[in-house]
Structure 1
Amino acid sequence: MFGTFNILEQSRSKNTFYECQRPEMLQPAAVLGSIVVCFFGQGFLEGTSDLSAVVDTARVRGFAGFVLVANPLYGDFVAQPIPFSVPGIMIPRVSDAQILIHYYEDYTNKNPTKYRATAAIKEGRMATFDDPAPIVARTSSRGPDIVDDKMNPADVLKPDILAPGDQIWSAWSPVSLMNPILRGRAFALLSGTSMATPHVAGVAALVKQAHPGWSPAMIASAISTTAAGYDSRGLPIMAQGGELYRVYNSTPFDRGSGFVSPAGALDPGLVFSAEFEDYISFLCSLPGLDRARVKYVTGASCNVPVPSPADLNLPSITISALSGSQSIHRRATNVASSPETYTCSVLPPDGVAVEVQPMIFTVLPRRTQELVIRFNVPHGSDGFKFGEIVLVGSLNHIVRLPLSVFPKA
């Protein structure tokens, strides 16, 4: 291996050398056939350096491979994989990179040409994944939803659901100009909502195939109420924050109802359905909304507005401004083939009293049970508080409704 080190003494003029951005700065005889250690430095942060240039340098100078490691001067970085024309790996965490750096400092007298650590390129198709999953990605859109241009929060949950969307092996147009390094390639590793949405659409298609008569709202409810709130370790789902590789306990504003479960969505037990008229009533209940505009856009009049936007029959409850007490209504329809008795349990948001009536009920197939959920707060709070209602059925169905409440004085 060959190390482009002295990183703790580096200056701006040396950045492109340490970052392996310019082939002419590396002596061919020194690097030819070597695995070269390069650093994620200031140029990457400023946008003047990139991974494709590292790959080009490795190809031009005949590296056997490269290792792009985190620089202690600049902290951890996000590793976004791209197709490599030469073997390469990334070590994006400073704590891991320090192993290479300490070896260099302790055993080579800080002479890169004497960096005699050895490495081997072996079979690379047997990947192992030891980290907990899922984790909400840093770039995932967060709640709360916004109701107006004054950034007031809405009485609906955002996001609805969590699905795989980070570094997904995806189809790519070979003629696309969006990323030059992907020209001519038919597949790429991509991240974002555009990668998560196809997963949810696929689950919705499976549910629709199994239940052709279900409406979109019923399918969405089935997906939401059966979602998982726990990761592969059986612990609550975590979310990435602003600091790289640090995570925190997620809330419904990070994960929505949870991580999508295709098998669960096929057999949810209960669904919370809404029809066209329900959405019109919801729109007409929004404060400050022009009812004439609702009529113009939808063709429907505001005949029966609901008492509160939070009364839209969603598989979640969000109250953006709770003062004193408020009762919210939900309608749960049994989509199973047998009668089932449900028992309700409540994990209330901090500082909020929650009462559900009835706490125990039996509902026949294709019949609906009305639920009244009463919220009460003795004093205000500085932000949203979160909880959950869980309905456990006698036939082993488990129905979860996340709660998001902002207590106001």
Structure 2
Amino acid sequence: MNTLWSSWAKQAVADGVDILSLSLGPNSPPGGSISTFLNILDVALLNTVKANVLVVQAAGNGGPYDQTVTSFSPWIITVGAGVDDRSYPNTLTLGNMTVLPGTLLAPPTKGPFLYNLISANDATQGPGNPLYTPSDCQLASLFNKLLVQGKLMICTYSFNFIFGGASMQQVVSTLEALGAAGLVMVVESDVAGSQFDPVPFTMPGIVLLDYYSRLTTRDANGIAVQFGAQAKIGGGQIANYSGQAQQVALFSSRGPDIKDFNFNQADILKPNVLAPGYLIWGAWTPIGIDNPNYIGQRWAMISGTSMATPHVAGLAALLKEKYPLWSPAALASAMVTTADVQDSRGVPLQAQEVSAGSTPLLQNATPFDMGGGALNVNAALNPGIIFDAGEADYVAFLCTAEGATPQQVFASTGGVCPTVPGRPVDLNMPSITLASLNGTQVLSRTVTNIASNVERYTITWTSPADVAVTITPVTFTIGSSGQLQSQQITFTLQATGASTLSSFGHVTFAGDLGHQIHIPISITNKSLK
């Protein structure tokens, strides 16, 4: 057991931490027949949870594609990334007085006048470089300085900036060496744009190339000989707030959760909650080399589920201060069950999806996109009731994993499997996920009162498509702090021709003293056979 408990997890426990924020995860599910829940990282984190430490883990940046979450287990709260309403807008004013919106933390061009535009591809000289295309603007030696000097240079933000080692910092160095007046960055695709971190300069739309081409004169060989396109860059260093609700970021990894290397679906919901993860300011070490844009910097603005995770860890710390005796599961429950699934107008939260253009498509977000919803700090601090679980519950869950033996579970956790085997769906999670529904399935959930007053709750629900849901009891009164109340929940597939598409619903617990929580329902494979 100790060999599977990573040294950093042991050290966190030894240091007395209450919340462990993790921006790491596997690149893929564990190979062979091992369950995702028994991989070495998740077992180490379970042993950390046994020491009463809540683990908050980033979902991964593999979205918007299904089954890309790389945080698998129910003892971890998994965080997706949202795009909130803060932006740093900038503008590019063209010679025809068209104003194009863009973004970047950049000062304006000097003076009120316009500057000639030049495409990186039209400014090249000498031999190329196999590592970089000219449009990446990574090497000053590729360009004719006399052509570029004093102009705004058009470069392209391509996948080389994400996977190939190109950096915005090097673009700046290149243009400074060439004496350029500024940079216009064109985004290659909406997928690349979703992972663009706004270090200085602007990022207008691809329509810039049409304007540039029309006003650039070329000789018979296609070489540019006169540059007539002009523009000036506005300032982009002031934050703007639109008041728009969070959207699930295009890059944020999506469920459903998987239980093995073959991508068979699990009866566990992932991600669990959504938090802001786009254009987030954070401290940065000057000696860090994992992001070339910020080498030597002390602050950075970047995007990813790794930037969303600390928001959840911070709220968890506030909860732990208010409720010091709460278990990790109770802390997670308070955040997941009070999260927002609608904006202030009652419109469902949206998830960004791939489009053919430069702007992502928007669709209603599902639990596989956002878990319980977008983090709501004030509501989480006063949930009224919570769903709790502990070490014995997680061990029992592990014992249901396909291929797991009692000996393997004991060696990994020190826990003993129950005499009567259970089901994965029996774990008291603040969500209900059925990887398959064949006919009828019955399960239960138990809430714990954490309020000091007696409160009467009424349960309502929205059934997933093709499925009938019944819950008993539909009302209950819960009294002193710590009192438990269980509900039996029955799912029945309704039609022989039921859709094989995943369907979703939710259960709401509304108290007469104002407390209200909800849990999401997700059902994937449906069959009457």
TM-score (norm: length of structure 1) = 0.85
Which of residues 302, 308, 312 in structure 1 aligns to 2:423?
Answer: 308
Matched residue SS, 2:258: coil
- Specify whether residues 69 and 129 from structure 1 end up closer, same or farther in structure 2 by C-alpha distance, changes over 3 A only: farther
| Equivalent residue, structure 2, for 1:385 | 503
| Equivalent residue, structure 2, for 1:104 | 212
> How far apart, CA to CA, are the structure 2 residues paired with 1:46 and 1:276?
40
Matched residue SS, 2:407: helix
Matched residue SS, 1:163: strand
> How far apart, CA to CA, are the structure 2 residues paired with 1:17 and 1:300?
59
CA contact (8 A) 2:118 2:148 kept: no
Deviation at 1:259, TM superposition (A): 1.0
Matched residue SS, 1:36: strand
Letter in 2 for 1:256: G
String of CA shifts for 1:310-330, please: whole Å, max 9, x gaps.
111111011112111111111
Matched residue SS, 2:520: strand
Deviation at 1:248, TM superposition (A): 2.5
CA contact (8 A) 2:191 2:250 kept: no
Deviation at 1:183, TM superposition (A): 2.2
Which of residues 36, 52, 64 in structure 1 aligns to 2:153?
Answer: 36
> How far apart, CA to CA, are the structure 1 residues paired with 2:470 and 2:485?
16
> How far apart, CA to CA, are the structure 2 residues paired with 1:145 and 1:120?
45
> How far apart, CA to CA, are the structure 2 residues paired with 1:226 and 1:334?
15
Gaps of 5+ in 1: none
CA contact (8 A) 1:138 1:242 kept: yes
String of CA shifts for 1:101-137, please: whole Å, max 9, x gaps.
4443555657674435341444x43222448442222
Mapped pair 1:265 → 2:380:
yes
Percent identity between matched residues is 37
Which of residues 256, 263, 271 in structure 2 aligns to 1:151?
Answer: 263
Stretch deviating more after TM superposition (160-169 or 285-294): 285-294
Mapped pair 1:213 → 2:316:
no
| Equivalent residue, structure 2, for 1:408 | 527
Which of residues 484, 487, 490 in structure 2 aligns to 1:368?
Answer: 484
Letter in 2 for 1:218: A
| Equivalent residue, structure 2, for 1:396 | 514
CA contact (8 A) 1:146 1:153 kept: yes
String of CA shifts for 1:259-304, please: whole Å, max 9, x gaps.
1111111100110111222222222334442122223333332235
| Equivalent residue, structure 1, for 2:232 | 119
- Specify whether residues 70 and 370 from structure 1 end up closer, same or farther in structure 2 by C-alpha distance, changes over 3 A only: closer
String of CA shifts for 1:50-80, please: whole Å, max 9, x gaps.
5344322211012221111246xx7774152
CA contact (8 A) 1:252 1:402 kept: yes
Deviation at 1:181, TM superposition (A): 3.9
| Equivalent residue, structure 1, for 2:433 | 318
CA contact (8 A) 1:37 1:67 kept: yes
Deviation at 1:142, TM superposition (A): 1.8
- Specify whether residues 387 and 306 from structure 1 end up closer, same or farther in structure 2 by C-alpha distance, changes over 3 A only: farther
After the TM superposition, which residues 196-275 of structure 1 pair with which residues of structure 2 at under 5 Å, given as runs? 196-231=308-343, 234-243=346-355, 245-275=360-390
TM-score (norm: length of structure 2) = 0.67
> How far apart, CA to CA, are the structure 2 residues paired with 1:64 and 1:234?
47
Deviation at 1:143, TM superposition (A): 1.4
Letter in 2 for 1:115: G
> How far apart, CA to CA, are the structure 2 residues paired with 1:155 and 1:82?
39
Which of residues 117, 133, 147 in structure 2 aligns to 1:3?
Answer: 117
Mapped pair 1:355 → 2:464:
no
| Equivalent residue, structure 1, for 2:202 | 89
> How far apart, CA to CA, are the structure 2 residues paired with 1:112 and 1:206?
63
- Specify whether residues 316 and 101 from structure 1 end up closer, same or farther in structure 2 by C-alpha distance, changes over 3 A only: same
Stretch deviating more after TM superposition (12-21 or 277-286): 12-21
> Which structure has more RCO (C-alpha within 8 Å, separation ≥ 6)?
2
- Specify whether residues 304 and 256 from structure 1 end up closer, same or farther in structure 2 by C-alpha distance, changes over 3 A only: farther
String of CA shifts for 1:138-175, please: whole Å, max 9, x gaps.
33222122223332211111111111223322222211
Q: Please give the root-mean-square deviation of Cα atoms over the aligned residues, in Å.
A: 3.1
Gaps of 5+ in 2: 1-114, 219-223
Letter in 2 for 1:323: N
The count of aligned residue pairs is 396
Deviation at 1:336, TM superposition (A): 1.6
Stretch deviating more after TM superposition (110-119 or 362-371): 110-119
After the TM superposition, which residues 273-312 of structure 1 pair with which residues of structure 2 at under 5 Å, given as runs? 273-303=388-418, 305=420, 307-312=422-427
- Specify whether residues 35 and 190 from structure 1 end up closer, same or farther in structure 2 by C-alpha distance, changes over 3 A only: same
| Equivalent residue, structure 1, for 2:301 | 189
| Equivalent residue, structure 1, for 2:104 | none
Letter in 2 for 1:33: G
Bigger share in strand: 2
> How far apart, CA to CA, are the structure 1 residues paired with 2:323 and 2:287?
40
> How far apart, CA to CA, are the structure 2 residues paired with 1:376 and 1:167?
44
> How far apart, CA to CA, are the structure 2 residues paired with 1:232 and 1:13?
54
Letter in 2 for 1:374: T
CA contact (8 A) 1:228 1:260 kept: yes
> How far apart, CA to CA, are the structure 2 residues paired with 1:32 and 1:107?
19
